[in-house]
Homo-oligomer: A and B are copies of this chain.
């Protein structure tokens, strides 16, 4: 049975959910952000079945979030690289990281740090226009 599709709903959340709204895709993207490029790296780091991983990687390539690039000719081998569209998805996972850290914390978690300064990174979602943190109580939608 095909699930309901959200890719033509007039809502950016619905369309984003259509792309990444399953249990494995955000974790595949997380591994890409952490530097995974080869199928086996994704597979071993996540412990996901090869069939599920193939399907998720193909979807991310079809949607333009990853590209498949050859790195060896004999035998033919390829790796997955983030596109600009894929890289731009990091803030979404970072917002998930922050919420998870605040509301479902675990002492075993690694710490997100800045590669240059070595300092912890603390993701915060603000309104770019005002610089203030978002508050859902101030949310309203206006027809486009």
A4 interface hit (Cβ, 8 Å): yes
CA distance A58 to B137 in the complex (A): 23
20 contacts between A and B (CB under 8 A): A11-B109, A12-B100, A13-B26, A13-B97, A16-B97, A17-B23, A17-B96, A88-B99, A90-B139, A91-B124, A92-B96, A111-B142, A111-B144, A114-B127, A114-B138, A114-B140, A121-B127, A122-B127, A123-B125, A125-B126
The reply to whether A113 and B125 form a contact with Cβ atoms under 8 Å apart is no
- How many chain copies does the complex carry? 2
Interface of chain A: mostly helix, strand, loop or mixed: mixed
Residues in B neighbouring A70, C-beta threshold 8 A: none
A110-B142, A139-B112 as given contacts; A14 in contact with B34, CB under 8 Å? no
Interface residues of A in 11-56 (CB under 8 A from B): 11-19, 21-27, 30, 33-34, 48
Determine which of B16, B95, B134, B136 lies in contact with A104 in the assembled complex, contact meaning CB atoms within 8 Å.
B16
**Chain A interface extent, by class:** 35 or more
**Residue with the highest number of chain B CB atoms closer than 10 Å, among A4, A99, A141:** A99
On chain B, the residues within 8 Å of A111 by CB distance are 141-144
Specify which chain B residues have a CB less than 8 angstroms from the CB of A21 in the assembled complex. 21-23, 25-26
Contact with B along A103-132 (1 / 0, CB 8 A): 111111111111110011111111111100
